[in-house]
RNA sequence: UGGCCUAUGGUGUAACUGGCUAACACAUCUGUUUUUGGUACAGAAGAGUCUAGGUUCGAAACCUAGUAGGCCAACCA
């Protein structure tokens, strides 16, 4: 067991510390608490991966708890979809729970809080209350109802529960501090009146608890040890603790574990939006076909697109956990899915943009069934037969009448290998009236041992089956479409995010099943879409293969690779400082050229610019060398020596860096 | 005008809690192998850790100030 010590993220550090301080390992318990008001997306996967992942590493139970305290928004449909997605990802929850299961207990605790003078019934309009609440920079003021008697509060709360009051007339609030700098502590609402049918409790209740009151107490009831959520809940922690500490007083005999909330930064993906509300808009406005459109970042979308649970889990693992805002490059997600599919997807041949090739020396009525390896990454995948005949399709892109030596594909007079078949040579082309090539005439050679640079995929026209092939591009053309202050995210929609083609496939694909994944050789990974039927096959492109050839070709004006915002002219001193950072690493020769440049720049530098650099840390020898060089220029141009200068020079002469000493000695 | 959080190569995370030349992955670029311009393998480039002070023999880490970004005023979660 020489397990290499993996570095821990900050949450794991906290847990390790708690364990070291005496928390028994058996007490560890986590939870994933979605609100059933929408579909899960890749961002949620991070939260799922963290809590369920912790459960796996510490062998601790993880509850799936639906935070269903707002019947106006929540539906059973979402509960079912969420369960399906989590299961699909391969995680197992210990218990399926609902906050609504705790409504009675929460109610009893609330009554206790009233009796203890920690909560009161307010009877004002939301406008007035908002007024009293103040702003982040301005304290709030007390409600006139804040000091109702316990008896009155009890009676009113009882009445609220019994349905005696219309919605909006009364509220239960915690009595904390209207002047707290944290607005969440300014007498937060615990209960509101809502005459709505709840997806689980039906009409049992007409008062519903708010998030802050429910969430932490649900954690506590479940004896969750570590309650992990995203950063925006950080300000809630203070309130989480306040409620928890009071309730702990009521129940500590039976519920000894007070949970602790910790927050991590949520996942952001480049060229993607993550907000449920905005995703809903894409669905409602018909930009996509539904929540499971393969372009959507939802779990169901990714699943339909052909992503594997493994690849998504791997992605979440690689993304890490920390507290700073981040934007993950989609290329990491693509890397993860390619890595997985490379190992498990069988290779097949499909031509998506065909051009006809006639092999003139191959008999017209002949056909051969050639052996093809299914997956060279997996020996157990075996072999299959693919038909070859006189007329085949290859990709249009794979032929040019004329091309340079860097072009490995077919050109007139050139030879290429047909994957799993023969080597062919292009002799002539047939063109239509517009000059478009309609046929390429080739001759084949049975000797396949020859070395040729290029290998093409192909499909026998006579045997080919057709399929609808859907290719996807990113939904948005901007790296962070929803964080532009002056533009709506809809402005960045990519109008060409979906391309539908007719593909010609080798006949082995005639009987595929929905969800099956393949590599179309040299093109990418594809899976069978839910829309696919025996009569009409439909494939989705999951992701393309890496293509180092495409990168060499001139990009179609898409300069997304280097939008480096060039800073406007930097000052001479900052350029010199920049040189300083590298100076000691440069070769002697380079040092000379850089030195000359610094001497030139130094002419524009004033003493006031330079002086702050005298204090540079000893360790930063490069910066000090560069400063000396510049200083010498200034001295030469008439600058008088002063104490600061002399001290700096003396210190340099005494340094252990030879270059620095040498430069200083010249003064 | 407040409070809280964050700042490490282009991106994301590390750095055994103050100690080696700041590590790993993605992205980028080179080669080698290859019946996929894929995979695999080998290598390169790129960061004095936001800035300035301070503490220390020693700071990415601790302290102070500044700067930048994020979050906080729903009877949402």
- Give the pLDDT score at A552: 72
pLDDT tier at A555 (50, 70, 90 boundaries)?
very low
- Give the pLDDT score at A558: 31
- Give the pLDDT score at A582: 67
**What value does the mean pLDDT of chain A take?**
91
Task: Show the beta-strand stretches assigned E in A254-341.
Answer: 260-264
The residue-averaged pLDDT of A394-412 equals 95
Quick one: how far is CA A626 from the chain centroid? 42
- Give the pLDDT score at A655: 66
- Give the pLDDT score at A562: 32
Q: Percentage of chain A with pLDDT > 70?
A: 91
H/E stretch holding A368:
strand A368-373
Catalytic residue among A12, A35, A94, A152, which?
A35
pLDDT tier at A639 (50, 70, 90 boundaries)?
confident
Residue A485 appears among annotated catalytic residues: no
Q: How far: A174 CA to B1 C1' (Å)?
A: 27
Task: Tell whether the model's pLDDT for residue A500 goes beyond 90.
Answer: yes
B strand bases under 7 Å from protein CB: 1-8, 10-15, 17, 25-29, 35-40, 47-48, 52-54, 58-60, 69-77
- Give the pLDDT score at A28: 98
Minimum CA–C1' distance nucleotide for A564: B10
- Give the pLDDT score at A656: 64
Task: Tell whether the model's pLDDT for residue A568 goes beyond 60.
Answer: no
Minimum CA–C1' distance nucleotide for A522: B36
The residue-averaged pLDDT of A331-349 equals 98
- Give the pLDDT score at A359: 98
Q: How far: A537 CA to B15 C1' (Å)?
A: 52
Task: Tell whether the model's pLDDT for residue A445 goes beyond 80.
Answer: yes
A190-206 pLDDT per residue, tens: 999 999 999 999 999 99
Task: Tell whether the model's pLDDT for residue A30 goes beyond 70.
Answer: yes
**Pairing mode, if any, of strands A455-456 and A437-445?**
unpaired
A545-A547-A551-A557 Cα dihedral, nearest 10 degrees: -30
The Cβ-side half-sphere exposure at A15, using a 13 Å CA radius, reads 23
CA closest to C1' of B73 belongs to A135
A41-63 pLDDT per residue, tens: 999 999 999 999 999 999 999 99
A615-631 pLDDT per residue, tens: 666 666 777 777 888 88
Q: How far is CA A119 from CA A153, A154, A211, A242, A444, in A?
A: 8, 10, 16, 12, 88
Q: Among A197, A175, A195, A194, which Cα is nearest to A186's?
A: A175
pLDDT tier at A661 (50, 70, 90 boundaries)?
confident
Minimum CA–C1' distance nucleotide for A194: B75
Q: What are phi and psi of A23, to 5 degrees?
A: -70, 120
The residue-averaged pLDDT of A13-30 equals 96
- Give the pLDDT score at A204: 98
Catalytic residue among A84, A105, A262, A266, which?
A266
Task: Tell whether the model's pLDDT for residue A527 goes beyond 70.
Answer: yes
Euclidean distance between CA atoms A331 and A81, whole angstroms: 27
* A111, A246 contact by CB (below 8 A): no
- Give the pLDDT score at A531: 98
Residue A595 appears among annotated catalytic residues: no
* A121, A148 contact by CB (below 8 A): yes
Task: Tell whether the model's pLDDT for residue A440 goes beyond 70.
Answer: yes
pLDDT tier at A588 (50, 70, 90 boundaries)?
low
pLDDT tier at A578 (50, 70, 90 boundaries)?
low
Minimum CA–C1' distance nucleotide for A457: B36
- Give the pLDDT score at A667: 80
The yes/no answer to whether this complex scores an ipTM above 0.85 is: yes
- Give the pLDDT score at A323: 96
Task: Tell whether the model's pLDDT for residue A36 goes beyond 90.
Answer: yes
DSSP state of A169: S
pLDDT tier at A565 (50, 70, 90 boundaries)?
very low
Pairwise pLDDT comparison (A667 vs A497), residue with the higher score: A497
Catalytic residue among A276, A323, A396, A501, which?
A276
Q: Residue with structure tokens 């928390």?
A: A23
Residue A266 appears among annotated catalytic residues: yes
Pairwise pLDDT comparison (A276 vs A610), residue with the higher score: A276
The residue-averaged pLDDT of A115-143 equals 96
The residue-averaged pLDDT of A321-349 equals 97
A70-106 pLDDT per residue, tens: 999 999 999 999 999 999 999 999 999 999 999 999 9
Q: How far: A371 CA to B35 C1' (Å)?
A: 12
- Give the pLDDT score at A487: 83
- Give the pLDDT score at A560: 32
CA closest to C1' of B23 belongs to A7
Q: How far: A10 CA to B61 C1' (Å)?
A: 14
Task: Tell whether the model's pLDDT for residue A18 goes beyond 90.
Answer: yes
A315-327 pLDDT per residue, tens: 999 999 999 999 9
SS3 A343: helix
Minimum CA–C1' distance nucleotide for A268: B12
Q: What is the C-alpha radius of gyration for chain A, rounded to an integer number of angstroms?
A: 34
Q: Please state, as a whole number, how many other Cβ atoms lie within 10 Å of the Cβ of residue A476.
A: 21
Task: Tell whether the model's pLDDT for residue A561 goes beyond 50.
Answer: no
Q: How far: A73 CA to B12 C1' (Å)?
A: 35
Task: Tell whether the model's pLDDT for residue A252 goes beyond 70.
Answer: yes
Structure tokens at A592: 């000379």
* A52, A316 contact by CB (below 8 A): no
């Amino acid at each position: 067991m020489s397990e290499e010590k993996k570095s821990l993220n900050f949450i794991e550090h906290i847990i390790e510390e708690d364990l070291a301080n005496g928390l028994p390992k058996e007490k560890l318990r986590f939870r994933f608490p979605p609100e059933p008001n929408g579909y899960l997306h890749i961002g949620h996967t991070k939260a799922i991966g963290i809590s369920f992942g912790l459960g796996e590493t510490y062998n601790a139970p993880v509850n799936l708890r639906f935070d269903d305290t707002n019947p106006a928004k929540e539906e059973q449909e979402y509960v079912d979809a969420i369960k399906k997605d989590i299961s699909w990802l391969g995680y197992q929850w210990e218990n399926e729970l609902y906050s609504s299961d705790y409504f009675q207990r929460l109610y009893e605790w609330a009554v206790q809080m009233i009796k203890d003078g920690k909560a009161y019934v307010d009877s004002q309009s939301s406008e007035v209350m908002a007024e009293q609440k103040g702003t982040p920079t301005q304290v709030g003021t007390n409600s006139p109802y804040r000091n109702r008697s316990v008896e009155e509060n009890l009676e009113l709360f009882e009445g609220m529960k019994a349905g005696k009051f219309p919605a909006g007339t009364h509220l239960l609030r915690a009595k904390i501090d209207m002047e707290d700098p944290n607005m969440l502590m300014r007498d937060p609402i615990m209960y509101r009146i809502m005459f709505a049918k709840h997806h689980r409790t039906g009409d049992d209740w007409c008062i519903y608890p708010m998030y802050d009151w429910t969430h932490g107490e649900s954690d506590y009831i479940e004896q969750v040890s570590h309650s992990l959520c995203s950063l925006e809940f950080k300000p809630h922690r203070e309130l989480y603790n306040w409620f928890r500490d009071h309730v702990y007083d009521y129940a500590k005999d039976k519920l000894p574990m007070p949970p602790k909330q910790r927050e991590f930064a949520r996942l952001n993906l480049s060229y993607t939006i993550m907000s449920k509300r905005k995703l809903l808009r894409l669905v409602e406005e018909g930009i996509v076909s539904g929540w499971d459109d393969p372009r959507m970042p939802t779990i169901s979308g990714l699943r339909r697109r052909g992503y594997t649970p493994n690849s998504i889990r791997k992605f979440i693992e690689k993304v890490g956990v920390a507290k700073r805002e981040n934007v993950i490059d989609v290329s990491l997600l693509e890397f993860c899915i390619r890595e997985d599919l490379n190992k498990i997807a069988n290779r097949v041949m499909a031509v998506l943009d065909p051009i006809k090739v006639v092999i003139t020396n191959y008999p017209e009525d002949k056909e051969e069934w050639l052996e093809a390896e299914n997956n060279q990454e997996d020996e157990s995948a075996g072999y299959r037969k693919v038909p070859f005949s006189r007329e085949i399709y290859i990709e249009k892109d794979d032929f040019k009448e004329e091309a340079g030596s860097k072009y490995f594909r077919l050109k007139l007079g050139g030879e290429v290998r047909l994957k799993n078949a023969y080597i062919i040579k292009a002799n002539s082309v047939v063109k239509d009236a517009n000059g478009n090539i309609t046929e390429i005439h080739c001759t084949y050679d049975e000797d396949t041992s020859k070395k040729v640079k290029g290998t093409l995929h192909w499909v026998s026209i006579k045997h080919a089956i057709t399929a609808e092939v859907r290719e996807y591009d990113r939904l948005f053309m901007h790296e962070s479409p929803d964080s532009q202050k002056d533009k709506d995210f809809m402005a960045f929609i990519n109008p060409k995010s979906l391309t539908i083609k007719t593909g010609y496939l080798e006949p082995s694909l005639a009987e595929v099943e929905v969800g099956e994944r393949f590599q179309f050789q040299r093109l990418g990974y594809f899976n069978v879409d839910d829309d696919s039927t025996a009569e009409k096959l439909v494939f989705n492109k999951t992701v393309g293969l890496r293509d180092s050839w495409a990168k060499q070709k001139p990009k179609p004006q898409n300069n997304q690779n280097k939008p480096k915002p060039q800073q406007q002219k930097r000052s001479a001193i900052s350029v010199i400082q920049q040189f300083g950072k590298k100076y000691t690493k440069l070769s002697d020769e380079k040092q000379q050229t850089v030195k000359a440049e610094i001497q030139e720049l130094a002419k524009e530098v004033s003493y006031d610019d330079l002086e702050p650099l005298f204090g540079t840390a000893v360790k930063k020898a490069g910066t000090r060398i560069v400063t000396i060089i510049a200083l010498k220029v200034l001295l030469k141009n008439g600058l008088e020596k002063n104490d600061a200068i002399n001290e700096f020079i003396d210190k340099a002469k005494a340094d252990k860096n030879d270059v620095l000493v040498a430069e200083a000695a010249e003064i």
